[in-house]
Structure 1
Amino acid sequence: MTQFGTIKHAFPGSNTPNGFHSFFNYILPQKEANQLYIIKGGPGTGKSSFMKRIGTYATEQGLDVEFLHCSSDPGSLDAMIIPSLKIAFLDGTAPHVVDPASPGVTDQILNFGTFWDADKLTPYKDNIIAVSNRIHDGFSKAYYYLAAAKNIYDAYIFTERKAINPTAKLKIEKDIIHQVFKDVKDKEGIGSVRHLFSTAITGEGVLDYIHTLIGTTKNIYFIKESFGCNSKKVMQSICDTATAKGYAIECYHSPMDPDKIEDILIPELDIAITISHPLHKPRIFPTLIFDLTAALDSARLKSLDFELDKDKRLFMDLIDKACNMIGANKKLHDELESYYINAIDFTAIDNLYDTLIQKFF
């Protein structure tokens, strides 16, 4: 019986209050890569399908694969990695324009633009420009909604922090650090950090792939938090401590606050740390649970309930508006793709696929 490889899913970028935030330079670091293929080409030229085909073939050969999804259209891929071969494919077009850092050495460009018939696109020039402009405007409005949501998010944090017992919170944070690292030995050198998103704000709502990243990890530490009584400080401390001890780690960030780490994976130790709040709900079975919200003074919090509830409802409504706008843009993007699909020579792409499969396998 054939043993299939496993598939992990994540996002290399996300829609955020400050626009599109990219971690594309962490997909497969240059010094670790055997080959990086940067795919150039317009919408509907088959970039995502091409990456899915190669990734699926790799899993059928028993290799583990990472599918990195597009936050604007989670059904599409922005990148695909085969870690054991140290090979990655990535979409190098807007909004995450990527150019070769080491052309011809590790980086190769696959130009899918050579596979289209420009004469078939020319009659639709005005349509293509008009739809592209509407997509640009749609994302601009979505980011205005997300910026407004971030202001309400910050206002919620400002209010809820009045109910935090700082001594109690510090005690819980120290306990978390102790539990995670109590049996961890130091290694020589400084560890490395890879940054991605496990959660993204998309046209289908706030989606996550947390379970595919840490679901099978042996030791999973689960931190219950609220927006105000949050784990931002302790998660950064875990990241700093792990790298200071010499371990390579993966950090997955918040799309609402990209500076905030929400999941940490230490593969060599089979350890994962994840958090839980209304926008981040891991579907996993934890080894140990910590409750940061226990540091909230219940009497003080009760006096703030009405104000916090109003802020939370307004915040969630703005998130919904942003997601709906991104979803409407997806329909426009489908229209844009339709012009290119009819102009592409997919037989040429099939031939390229066959050539690369023979090269790798």
Structure 2
Amino acid sequence: MVDPKNPGAVDEIIHLGDFWDEEKMRENKEAVLKSNARVGRLFKIAYSQLAEARVIKDELDSYYTEAMNMASVNGVIHDITEDIIEDAEIQFDLKPKDRHLFATAFTPQGQAHFLETVLDGVKKLYFITSDASALGSEVVGTVARVMHMHGLDTDVYHCSFEPTAVDLVVIPAMKTAVMKDIPGINFKIQYIPGLKKVRIKDLNQYLDPNVLAVYDKEIKCAGERLHSALCRAISYIAAAKAEHDVMETYYIPAMDFEAINAKRDEVLARILKYAEEFK
């Protein structure tokens, strides 16, 4: 449950329960309770699979971290930040804004993203590729912090699987972005409209092949286990969505959609009025 922090003055709850027929709802009470319990159970299994996947990913990351020349990675970070700052209007008078968002998600249809929308308007992209996904996130996250320290507004997009990690940072004033290769999503750089310049930084060149050879069997096994755990998680999310759709069939006949549409129009009118007042 989410309560308004400043009810009336700022926040307001719209209760759709005002628009249903309680008698019709009570007729399907047992079915609703059973379906709702099933949805909860399926999501719980999905989250357990994601938790298992996270443990596997940490194991996989540990092999690549051991093999990586971190001094060279720091050099990549230095080169990117220096290149961006060279043309930036650095300022230390106002605190810069840093928005934190997500551009990807695990959905019943699989891993989804809105990267084409997020990157629309970006003219210059630094693209970090590497089998060491965690280190790619470290590069992007560090660049984001450096940009913020130099007074630039940033839009920071976190990893939906590991929210503390950073997949992408956009610096709107520079029309510039730094992004890592995100595993599991169908996205190509050429999909970005209006992109003028791309600089690809491949961290794999800084991996010690001798160390990777030692852990070759473990890396392959961890990769397969990670893929399997994520696929199971998505399958249970899909099953939960399917069961939730069944539960909605009990609600739909009991809803007064004309009243809901009228409420929607009322809220929209108020929002547009607030927008005019803001202008």
TM-score range, shorter chain: 0.7 to 0.9
Question: Between Structure 1 and Structure 2, which shows a larger proportion of strand residues?
Answer: 1
What does residue 120 of structure 1 align with? 24
What does residue 194 of structure 1 align with? 99
The two structures, once aligned, show a CA RMSD in angstroms of 2.0
Q: Does 1:319 align with 2:261?
A: no
Local SS of the residue matching 1:342: helix
What does residue 158 of structure 1 align with? 62
Cα distance, 1:125 vs structure 2: 0.8
Q: Which runs of 4+ in 1 moved over 4 A?
A: none
Cα distance, 1:107 vs structure 2: 2.0
Instruction: Tell me whether 267-276 or 326-335 shows the greater mean CA deviation.
Output: 267-276
What does residue 310 of structure 1 align with? 221
Q: Does 1:288 align with 2:199?
A: yes
1:58-73 equivalence runs, <5 A: none
Conserved? CA contact 1:210–1:283, under 8 Å: no
Instruction: Tell me whether 257-266 or 277-286 shows the greater mean CA deviation.
Output: 277-286
Amino acid at match of 1:146: L
Q: Does 1:346 align with 2:257?
A: yes
Cα distance, 1:358 vs structure 2: 4.2
Cα distance in 2 for residues equivalent to 1:266 and 1:228: 22
What does residue 241 of structure 1 align with? 146
Of 69, 81, 85, the match for 1:177: 81
1:203-282 equivalence runs, <5 A: 203-227=108-132, 230-280=135-185, 282=187
In structure 2, the CA distance between the partners of 1:316 and 1:168, relative to structure 1 (3 Å rule), is same
Give deviations 1:283-322, integer Å, cap 9, x for gaps. Answer: 3346211112221123432443332111101100000000
TM-score (norm 2): 0.87
Cα distance in 2 for residues equivalent to 1:252 and 1:270: 15
Percent identity (aligned): 28
Q: Does 1:107 align with 2:107?
A: no
Conserved? CA contact 1:153–1:315, under 8 Å: yes
Cα distance in 2 for residues equivalent to 1:174 and 1:228: 19
Amino acid at match of 1:197: F
Cα distance in 2 for residues equivalent to 1:262 and 1:138: 28
Local SS of the residue matching 2:60: helix
Local SS of the residue matching 2:164: coil
Give deviations 1:162-209, integer Å, cap 9, x for gaps. Answer: 321222222222212222322112222221222221111222111111
Q: Which has the higher contact order (CA 8 A, sep 6+)?
A: 2
Local SS of the residue matching 1:105: coil
In structure 2, the CA distance between the partners of 1:155 and 1:357, relative to structure 1 (3 Å rule), is closer
In structure 2, the CA distance between the partners of 1:227 and 1:124, relative to structure 1 (3 Å rule), is farther
Amino acid at match of 2:37: N
Conserved? CA contact 1:223–1:291, under 8 Å: yes
Cα distance, 1:216 vs structure 2: 3.2
Cα distance, 1:275 vs structure 2: 0.7
Give deviations 1:41-66, integer Å, cap 9, x for gaps. Answer: xxxxxxxxxxxxxxxxxxxxxxxxxx
Cα distance in 2 for residues equivalent to 1:283 and 1:229: 20
Local SS of the residue matching 1:107: coil
Structure 1's unaligned 5+ residue stretches are 1-96
Conserved? CA contact 2:77–2:143, under 8 Å: no
Local SS of the residue matching 1:231: helix
- Which structure has the bigger radius of gyration? 2
Structure 2's unaligned 5+ residue stretches are 191-196, 274-279
Amino acid at match of 2:11: D
